[in-house]
Amino acid sequence: MALAINGVNIAVKDLAAATEKYEQLFGVKGEYVGEGGFAFPGLKGTRLDIGGFVVNLITSDVEDTSVSRFLERKGEGLFLLSVKVNDIDKAVQAVSEQGMSPLLEKSARGSYGAVNFVHPRDMNGVQLELIELP
């Protein structure tokens, strides 16, 4: 099902400060990602490509997003593990057959490709993103 680990999303409170820290640490320039770059509204972030491994620093100023709730309950930290798949529909079917709960009835599609998610309760507290890249 999964081709490779695409990357991780790390929830942060202060996007500018986190971006500066990660850019300095890894020696790469981050790319700002606005709301249109996410499957759900209310999110923004910085995308860092570190040798082909993507680290997304994400935050939300909107109170009722999954990221803002995560930051409120758990603080900053690993929010999501992203895996590349060839066929989003087959991948969603496979995780469903394994007893996991996809978060979306129909996978979200946009400039980022096609995505769906597995609930954190099914993945030891970490949300799993299945992504079919464009």
**Is-contact 9 58, C-beta < 8 A?**
yes
pLDDT of residue 40: 86
Q: How far apart are CA 8 and CA 81, in angstroms?
A: 5
pLDDT of residue 3: 78
**What six digits make up the tokens of 78?**
């690993």
Domain residue spans in the chain?
2-132
Would you call 110 helix, strand, or coil by DSSP? Answer: strand
The CATH architecture that domain 2-132 belongs to is Roll (3.10)
**Is-contact 21 57, C-beta < 8 A?**
no
Q: Which residues pair with 131 in a beta bridge?
A: 84, 115
pLDDT of residue 39: 85
pLDDT of residue 35: 85
**Apex CA 44: angle with CA 43 and CA 47, to 5°?**
130
pLDDT of residue 73: 94
- Which residue numbers in the chain have pLDDT < 70? 1-2
